[in-house]
Amino acid sequence: MYIVTGGAGFIGSAFVWKLNKLGLDNILIVDNLSTTEKWKNLVSLRFKDYIHKNLFLSLLEQEKFGSIKAIIHMGACSSTTEKNADYLMENNVFYSKALAKFCLARSIRFIYASSASTYGDGSLGFADKEEDLEKLRPLNMYGYSKHLFDLWLKREHLLNQVAGLKFFNVFGPNEYHKGDMKSVVCKAYAQIKETGKLKLFKSYHPDYGHGEQKRDFVYVKDCVEVMAWLLEHPEVNGIFNVGTGKTRSWNELARAVFTALNLPINIEYIEMPETLKGKYQYFTQAEMTKLKQAGWQEEFTSLEEAVADYVQNYLAKDYPYLS
């Protein structure tokens, strides 16, 4: 059995889709559907069962799930604006520790989601060097919760037995339930369709013009390819960046969306909320050398190709989900 925590969420459900494409459906999905519309991500997927995250740990520790091939831990509170530090500690740190301990005691493959937000303002670069983990200074509690789990694995000398993934700016199908945390591509599509224009935040940094703030945008289909590769190569362990290794501006992303819609470019620059100004990343770019040295050889989809696929084959369709 493959267990995917957060399996109804964005990257989690995309990975279940990838497993299905590989002919695998003996999958247990662990999540908290609550009143969200995450359930829609599951409709076209094949899996054995679903269980609520609050029930999962106790049943797991009682060995109720039989033979487990791997636990892919994508479940977490992913809101970068979450203020409840105790909730983040319980959900993103302690829960992850319990799963890691279970897997390592039984030689079960453990792949988990860290985050590029652990890099903070980027002043220390974006190299996934484990020897530099202690130097990182996340800008929000979400990033700090992810960082704490990475640090715990390092202190316990366990990083050579698990695979952690620092996802950069992921976008693509199945993110529709994420509200304010949806990608700008997803938000831009709706905004442009409704108003004919796209609003982007102004820049408050002298080195970046309006809309020239830069990110490493990575398509979710590429992310799950990396995850599937790691599943097939249990000898590859450590913390790895997952990005394209190329930085692109918000203006370039906007142009890609307008182009995919075959509409003229119309961008308006608006004030950034005060709550974001001191915590805003103006530049992210994944250093991808480590993953390539580990054996990853595939090329990532370009921003323009990924946006076109997402807009034309999903967002513009009546059924926009991976199937």
Q: Which residues are catalytic?
A: 142, 178
Nearest by Cα to 73 from 99, 54, 98: 99
286 φ/ψ angles, rounded to the nearest 5 degrees: -70, 130
Q: How far is CA 27 from CA 19, 31, 82, 131, 187, in A?
A: 9, 13, 30, 35, 31
- Whole-angstrom distance, CA of residue 244 vs CA of residue 223: 10
Q: What does the angle CA 32 – CA 231 – CA 99 come to, to the nearest 5 degrees?
A: 45
Are 176 and 37 in contact by the 8 Å Cβ rule? The answer is yes
Are 91 and 22 in contact by the 8 Å Cβ rule? The answer is no
Q: How far is CA 2 from CA 25, 111, 136, in A?
A: 8, 11, 32
The 3-class secondary structure across 15-50, one letter per residue, is: HHHHHHHCCCCCEEEEECCCCCCHHHHHCCCCCCEE
166 φ/ψ angles, rounded to the nearest 5 degrees: -95, 90
- Whole-angstrom distance, CA of residue 190 vs CA of residue 196: 10
Q: How far is CA 257 from CA 146, 243, 266, 304, in A?
A: 31, 20, 11, 8
H or E segment and range at residue 254: helix 250-260
As a dihedral over the C-alpha atoms of residue 40, residue 240, residue 124, residue 90, rounded to 10 degrees, the angle is 50
